[in-house]
Chain A
Amino acid sequence: MLCSLNEIQALATKAARGAGLPWGVADEAGRAARWLEARGFAGLSALEGALDRLSGPDWRRCAPIPDGAEWCAEGGEIDGLCAGIALADRAGEPIPHAGAGALVLSRVRWPLLTMPFLATVAGALGERLAVSLGPDTPVIGVGPHAVSETCRNIEGLPLAASVRVERVEGSTALQGAARLDGSIPIDKEVYARLDRRAARTYVAESAESQTRGAGGGDLIETD
């Protein structure tokens, strides 16, 4: 099915909230999904995968413990969305300069979700970032508001053993993935599963509350 970017953001936000995440975190999830889909990456699908873990009462154990140059999570695996939020909140504070090593995130679930936040970090730092998931995966370049086409290699990746992030010297210019402009193709099954999570944010109405909540008065217009 074809969706607008606003629909994608609204669906992702509500699904994240329906999964039990706080409103502010759900808002970040919605923005990230939209950012990715606008560049042709399967952000909704990644979020849908991530919400399986994030929907539990102990979801905070998926957040990184930002300590030193190697981050891990109390629960053993860092969620990609939580990693991105933590990095963006710190404006990339612990990411070393080129040649001085890298920030390593250990065992990251759905690392695609981290990319939009790294793009905001690149914007705040005014530098490009290089993201590496191991010798078998091409390096992903991240610039202000852009990510390289190599990001497609991690689109469906549910777990990365490690994610290394380092600053890149020189130009911030990056040939990012092309922007899409609406009518984004979305997998119907993914949409339906997220829609079911979103539905958990809705309140079923009684006949009385349906009338009262909408404003009362006569429902059929006679004037």
Chain B
Amino acid sequence: MRLARLGAFHQTRLSFLRATLRHVWSAGFRFAYDRWEIGDDGVGVAVYAAAGPEHTYSLVCFAHDLDPAMRTDRVIAEAWDATYVLYDGIPDDSEIERLRANTPKQEAGRYRHTDLILSRTNKSARLFDNVVGCLAEGRQPEAARLEDVGYVMRTTAVYGNGKFGIADRHRYAGRAGFGAPFRMEMLTVWMIRQFVADLVDHMARVRGGSGAAPLDRALRRRLGIGNSTGLGLGPFIVNHPALFARWIECRETALARVCAQERAPSEIWTVFRQWIGRARADVAAWIVPDALQAEKIARLAGDIDRLETFSAGFGPEIARPWARIRDWAADRLSLEGQELTVSLLIEPYGELVDDLADRMAIDEREMAPAGLPGSVGEILAAVEDRYGWALEPDYATPDAQARFWYVSANKLEPRLGERWEEAGADLELPLATGRDIAACRADLRKAAWEECLADFLLRHPEHRHVVRRLCDPDLGPYGQIRDNLVGADLLPLNLLRCKLAFFGATHFDPKSDRWLRINMFCHAPYPDETESQPPDDWIFPRSDAQADALLP
């Protein structure tokens, strides 16, 4: 669980957006417009209803006229091209008016428990006007240009779980299909993608009249929803160690199940080999300006070629072929290549692993359970035995504590500061897990071996957050990121990449060491295609022949 490896993760079929679509298909959700009141100026409100077997969810969309000089993806923004709420049920006129008064203000608005998710998008200035212009003239935009950007709008935040008064997650976590993490968020983003596609067609009709063409469906599927993500995402996997441990455990379990197969059925072997080809095509379209990531992608492309050559050297008749590929990859490929291999090994085995996607949530306790097990001596022995990664750095050196995490007063979002250059380190967030474990260990060593932990914490309340983490039985082997999260060599992007891979994002595009752009649902079917497209055969692009076979 080193950060460099976590930062090389790719989506898998357990990723949240893919599992969400599988649920939407299997539950038989039906999608419909409830309202389309977007004017010729592209401003107004639209409502989409997603009707499931027990509940209906409405995406309430507000389209705005945004001055391009105000268009920033960063959290410092105060206005956006479009803003959204996923609403529990179907909103009546008074609810629409309440949402109209708050949603465009995003964080500055107030919301209720009927409002499940809050989000906003900005246009890709590169692509939105180009696509609308082409369609208005009755012609389709160039496919290469669509793929170059990958989306015509990108979300800049997707808020859930009680933020600004919206529903706490537990309100809907008991509903079938929505207990697993971030399903409601993923449903929202996917429905936003439908709105964006409809808005493009609408604006083309406004501009081109009867001569305008709708966006071709095959081209349309090449567009995902972009996303800009910054440090706000970073602390989550540190602050929710038991949940994060479950995510990793499920992923490892899926891989273990596949690798335990003694033989590979020939049809699965064929699918695996096809997916190698599809991954190659996807990586070829993953072009980023960031030099470090570009170098990793180049090595990954080479790794895919080597994987194809290696797996061509034997057939499915060999014993335990998947374990053999996994072990070979661990020895021969880059971290990116190893982790993509994990995704590819899992990919053909939906029937074997997809149940794990529903087990990726935990029941986070309201209160910590009573009782701190063990004595000072016992916990000290455990720390010295298992936390070498935390004890190894010399925290007295400036580089070992070069950074600090804090919450900015301006936007109330996590930030990363330079400890020796900026003020505010006295207000740092408790994310320096390794350093804090080392500090706790120093005081444990001064305490009596047999002292109970309750008494130790009475004398040292400053170590309570560390002792809680050390004693949490739910953390298991995957609950700790075994790296110094405040060191000079920290690459915070790795924290973001890991979480985004679990979401199911692709085409990670770093813009600095602490924010990046991604694509979500690229190549996926739309809500208006649930009857004509399969739910989960799209994450890497199909060849043209494969895609044609699926067209209605």
B298 at the interface (CB under 8 A from A): no
Check if A190 is an interface residue, CB within 8 A of chain B.
no
Instruction: Say yes or no: B167 contacts A24, CB within 8 Å.
Output: no
A31:B370 contact, CB within 8 angstroms: no
Q: Chain B interface mostly helix, strand, loop or mixed?
A: loop
CB of A27 closer than 8 Å to a CB of B: yes
Interface-forming stretch among A106-114, A167-175, A203-211?
A203-211
A176 at the interface (CB under 8 A from B): no
Q: Which residues of B contact A200 (CB under 8 A)?
A: 427
Question: Smallest distance from the beta carbon of B479 to chain A beta carbons, Å?
Answer: 16
Q: Does A192 contact B (CB under 8 A)?
A: no
Q: Mark A109-146, 1 if CB is under 8 A from B, else 0.
A: 00000001101110110000000000000000000010
Task: Assess A35 versus B366: contact at CB under 8 Å? Given A203-B407, A210-B76.
Answer: yes
- Given contacts A89-B371, A203-B423, A219-B76, A2 and B230 within 8 Å (CB-CB): no
- Complex formed: what's the CA distance from A219 to B77 in Å? 9
Asked whether A221 lies within 8 Å of B125 as measured between CB atoms, the reply is yes
Residues of B within 8 A of A116 (CB): 366-367
Which residues of chain A (43-100) have a CB below 8 Å from chain B?
A: 60, 63, 66, 86-92
* A182 within 8 Å of B (CB atoms): yes
Contact A23-B430, Cβ < 8 Å, known A120-B370, A213-B408, A221-B122:
yes
A154 beta carbon closer than 8 Å to chain B: no
Instruction: Please give, as numbers and ranges, the residues of chain A lying within 8 Å of B359 by CB-CB distance.
Output: none
Whether A3 is near chain B, meaning CB under 8 Å from some CB there, is: yes
Find out whether the CB atom of B430 lies under 8 angstroms from the CB atom of A217: no
Contact B367 A31 (CB under 8 A): yes
In the complex, which of the residues A23, A88, A121 has the most CB atoms of chain B within 10 Å of its own CB atom?
A23
Chain B stretch 329-346: residues in CB contact (< 8 A) with chain A: none
B215 to nearest A CB, angstroms? 20
Nearest chain A CB to B505 CB, angstrom units: 17
Which one, B53-61, B386-394, B451-459, B531-539, is touching chain A? B451-459
Cβ-defined contact, A203 with B417, below 8 A: yes
Contacts of A123 in B (CB 8 A): 369-370
CB distance from B175 to the nearest CB of A (A): 13
| Chain B interface, number of residues (Cβ within 8 angstroms) | 69
Is B371 a contact partner of A91 (Cβ separation < 8 A)? yes
A209 and B69 in contact, given A203-B427, A214-B75 (Cβ under 8 angstroms): no
* Nearest-Cβ distance from residue A159 to partner chain B, whole angstroms: 22
Write out, one digit per residue, whether chain B residues 65-88 have a CB within 8 A of any chain A CB (1) or not (0). Answer: 000010111111000000000000
Contact indicator A204/B370 (Cβ below 8 Å) = no
Given contacts A1-B110, A22-B464, A216-B512, contact A6 B72 (CB under 8 A): no
With contact pairs A4-B166, A23-B464, A183-B112 given, residues A202 and B408 touching in the complex (Cβ less than 8 Å): yes
Which of B125, B162, B406 interacts with A222 by CB under 8 Å? B125
Chain A residues within 8 Å of B415, by CB: 203, 205, 209, 213-214
CA distance A177 to B380 in the complex (A): 41
- Whether A150 sits at the interface, judged by CB under 8 Å, is no
Q: What B residues does A4 contact at CB under 8 A? A: 113, 161-163, 165-168
Choice from A89, A119, A182, A206 contacting B168 with Cβ under 8 Å: A182
How close is B400's CB to chain A, nearest CB, in angstroms? 20
Say yes or no: B410 contacts A221, CB within 8 Å: no
Binary interface profile of A, 179-223, with partner B (CB < 8 Å = 1, else 0)? 001110000000000000001111111100110011111011111
A-B contact pairs, 10 of them (CB 8 A): A4-B161, A24-B465, A35-B367, A87-B370, A89-B371, A120-B369, A202-B408, A209-B415, A215-B230, A219-B72
The 9 residue pairs across chains A and B that have the minimum distance between CB atoms:
A24-B464, A6-B162, A4-B162, A91-B371, A203-B424, A182-B113, A213-B415, A24-B465, A89-B454
